[in-house]
Amino acid sequence: MYKPVVKFLKGTCEEYSYDDDTMYARVYALNHYRLGRGWIRTSQIENMTLDGFETRNTIYVESEEEEFAYLYTDVQSGHQEVLLDPDAYTHSVNTGYMTKQKLYL
């Protein structure tokens, strides 16, 4: 059976269980085939691997790629946002003066 591979951001996997026999995870997915990029809760984990885990329908692998976040600061208002997309700054106050700093995750 074919299972899609979903990469998740290194260091974001939080495993938890509802009882002693059922394990789930919460990860920051980078390329989920239905949900895209963002925090997701997986279905039941069936198998753990060295670089991730497997559920009934999906293989989750920790990303080996270097990931970045961007810190946007509105110079006049002091408003700050941290975003993974370098072009996603959407603060409604447009003063014309904004700094963007690259952060390594």
- Counting every residue written for the chain, the total comes to 105
- Each residue's pLDDT, cut to its tens digit, for the chain (105 residues) gives 799 999 988 777 888 777 778 899 988 888 899 998 888 999 999 999 999 999 999 999 998 766 666 767 777 777 776 666 655 555 544 445 666 666 555
Distance (Å, whole) CA 92 – CA 50: 44
DSSP per position, 72-92:
EEETTT--EEEESSTT----S
> CB 36: neighbour CB atoms within 10 A?
10
What pLDDT score was predicted for residue 89? 53
Question: What is the chain's alpha carbon radius of gyration, rounded to the nearest angstrom?
Answer: 17
Number of helices (H), then strands (E), in the chain: 0, 10
What pLDDT score was predicted for residue 45? 93
What pLDDT score was predicted for residue 78? 73
What pLDDT score was predicted for residue 92? 43
